[in-house]
Amino acid sequence: MGDRIKILTGNAHRELASEISDDLNLALGKAHVGKFSNGETSVMISESIRDMDVYIIQPTCNPNVNDNLMELLIMADAIRRASAHRITAVIPCFGYARQDKKDKSRAPITGKLVANLIETAGIDRVITMDLHASQIQGFFNIPVDNLYAEPQIIKYIRKNIPGEKVIVSPDAGGVKRAKSISDKLDADLAIIHKERKKANEVSGMILVGDVKDKVALIVDDMADTCGTLVSACEMLISKGATKVYAIVTHGVLSGDAIQKLNASSLTELVITNTIPHAEKAAKCPKIKTINIAHTLSEAIRRTHHGESISSLFSDTK
């Protein structure tokens, strides 16, 4: 890779950062990211990065979303002041993306706010994965590469899930994602229409499509409290599905999600490692992991060398 590139990381997901740097045959850069006694974030870059192409691996994810975001911003400021040639933020899970529009009176648009913060910190480019809404790319005035977990998901399904399948979108917003996967797998498509009382609480569900005597695969970008996911699973079983799998990019798994999953009829919850979840996976044998470190490392390599990354969106073999 050469000596003009440097991989740095905060505390959000050091394991993923190590896997990415190993895949690139690089050592992780030396940076101390901690806290002062009053709780403020402390950052010190411990080696020269002058005129280097610097990549910060830092998902802004749970359990410490705000700390992870501040680490990213303060690291970027330190790197910019250290005269780096270019700063790229690799944010596998982009926090605050769910509030991407003003859908009610006096609501914030946090996706745009975070985009402004990232640009102001001096970051030149963002690499992320499966944004909650694609229009978030338009919140930025810098290049944003939104990678997709879909190729890895399709490989996993072909290798590990036999039988006649039906791809299920858990809501209207995910139909495009589900349709793309169903087309590549030559599988049927079903849609669940859900009505919400409030965030993370669903009041009713209607199934559009046939799942009888088929293996149902629920695909979504995020699994948070898993209440909706478990309800959808029980509904699909009641409609005649033989098994139900859930395949999700970002496994947030907050609150009592693990207890819900263990008590549900779900066969497997397949998630990527954009968010660290080793402790939760140890408590729930239904959780399986797709490793996306190579996809991110390849995007970094191609970006560094000025190559196209478009083929990463379609490699499903």
DSSP-assigned beta bridge partners for residue 89:
56, 126
**Whether the predicted pLDDT of 300 surpasses 80:** yes
**Chain mean pLDDT for the chain:** 93
What is the Cα Rg of the chain in Å? 20
**Whether the predicted pLDDT of 317 surpasses 60:** no
pLDDT digits (tens, 9 = 90+) for 178-216: 999 999 999 999 999 877 666 656 667 889 999 999 999
pLDDT at 225: 93
pLDDT digits (tens, 9 = 90+) for 30-70: 999 999 999 999 999 999 999 999 999 999 999 999 999 99
CA-CA distances (angstroms) from residue 283 to 257, 277, 279?
A: 11, 10, 7
**What is the token pair recorded at 10?**
């905060």
**Whether the predicted pLDDT of 313 surpasses 90:** no
In this prediction, residues 5-23 reach a mean pLDDT of: 97
**Whether the predicted pLDDT of 23 surpasses 80:** yes
pLDDT at 310: 86
pLDDT at 180: 94
pLDDT at 203: 64
Ramachandran angles phi, psi of 278, nearest 5°: -60, -45
Work out the burial of residue 28: count CB atoms within 10 Å of its CB; fewer than 13 is exposed, 13-18 middle, 19 or more buried.
Answer: middle
pTM over 0.75: yes
